[in-house]
Structure 1
């Protein structure tokens, strides 16, 4: 009975199609950030990002969303991480590094997991692993830094490689670390409500740089914050820095000085890893040119 055979074949094909779509929507790795919009101002993620190749991740640890990351599967680094800044209630944790199981297996646990001694090949193919950073001359640079998070659980959750980019020590422990502390001081001193932070990586303009032929190295780090509710009387020297402000930091001391000039008086260890602070629209113009995306980081420019 050919018509029955065709009918069953169609049903089978339809079942396989539904199963494929079902795999796409399970867990915390999604097609959008609908599960973790609270980490974005006005619950609106950055606009203008060409999502081809990028994977939204609602970063989940101990059954709670901690922050959000836009991850590039092929480059094995995040484009950015978005979070709410707070004051840490303890020290930087000494904990195991973790990975995102659902990048490798769509039906895996939605919780980030510590790396095992024996890493599954599917995990190795889907994201960065610890071996990628061995003998690389790069540190594991947090986009959402642990000390910008209040609770120990929130701080531990930042130690996932889906929140990490290869960052030179001179940047990570020098000018960029100073910027992170400065942003936190401004939050504590002047914000009267939440401060939304988006921190990301900017690739090289003409050539991709890699570690271990697997993980893309950014030429610059960038960050911007949005503090919609702030003190009415601000010191004159910070008035232009509210409700938003931004920065770009060098991750290559040999880069040109077009985006970030170099201070020749900087200490030798940190020479060339300078940070330039700037208005939000200046950063967005730089990102639009470098990434070929008309990015708008905060809804309505955080106004």
Structure 2
């Protein structure tokens, strides 16, 4: 590779980072996760992720913190949401979609609020709104899924657009949904204590994709969990999944297969939205390449409790 080509490649990578990591905004929606560290293993958020341009949000609903998200204003979408898995004690709620008032005005209420009709233009400028998804051919994809939360209020809180990314229906109701159900099954069957989950997205490597020139579309979704206390008598088939495991799912049928191969034998409606399960270290390596920075999702890689 020539010096000129190498320099152009480095400038391209730097430009991609600048696009995704702009200026940090400070307000009651805070510059860190200090109010909701308990959603992270050992109360330590992911390390090495450059937070410039991203807004940490301790997602507050009915005067309680329900989960945490790292949000990017320019892209009107989160990079990840973090939560402690707790099986739902009821059905998926018919909840109203909500927004984050403090992304509109830093001194506003810290409580998420339902959208008004018509949408307040100050809200429209500050974050994604329901109109962005209308007739977009994308579903509203939860990073912190409703059915991974116990109480009705916890589940309702996941219906904030600061927890949502544009997700193809074939992924959302197909392989990605099966992954969420499988993680829930593993928790119920084998995890003796808390399971810490972080679910996020990967942007396109070069030119971005957008809905209505406002909301960034991810090329992939990813998820990882940490269950430091688990059954000592794990079946042989389950041992590879503890204390950590991870997965990456396709959100674009036309993406290459270097990260997630395509299974051509599945039915047409979900073909190309495959999910690849993998060790945590493999996911962190993929994220490090895609985001051009080292990544550590769980403190100490989530050590097994003795």
TM-score (norm 1): 0.91
Aligned residue for 2:154, secondary structure, equals: helix
How big is the shift at 1:125? 1.1
Aligned to 2:6: none
Whole-angstrom CA distance in 2 between matches of 1:34 and 1:126: 23
Whole-angstrom CA distance in 2 between matches of 1:47 and 1:236: 32
How big is the shift at 1:24? 3.8
Tell me if 1:52 matches 2:28: no
Deviation track 1:12-69 (CA, whole Å, cap 9, x = no partner) reads: xxxxxxxxxxx944x3x10000000000000000001111110000000000000000
Aligned residue for 1:230, secondary structure, equals: coil
Alignment of 1:1-303 (within 5 A): 24-25=26-27, 27=28, 29-303=29-303
Whole-angstrom CA distance in 1 between matches of 2:139 and 2:116: 21
Whole-angstrom CA distance in 2 between matches of 1:200 and 1:24: 22
Whole-angstrom CA distance in 2 between matches of 1:148 and 1:73: 26
How big is the shift at 1:119? 1.9
Deviation track 1:146-190 (CA, whole Å, cap 9, x = no partner) reads: 000000000000000000000000000000000000000000000
How big is the shift at 1:293? 2.1
How big is the shift at 1:295? 1.1
Whole-angstrom CA distance in 2 between matches of 1:24 and 1:245: 33
Deviation track 1:271-299 (CA, whole Å, cap 9, x = no partner) reads: 00000000000000000000112110000
Q: Which runs of 5+ in 1 are unaligned?
A: 1-22
The number of residue pairs the alignment matches comes to 279
Which is higher, the Rg of structure 1 or of structure 2? 1
Whole-angstrom CA distance in 1 between matches of 2:212 and 2:295: 30
Aligned residue for 1:268, secondary structure, equals: coil
Moved over 6 A (4+): none
Aligned residue for 2:38, secondary structure, equals: helix
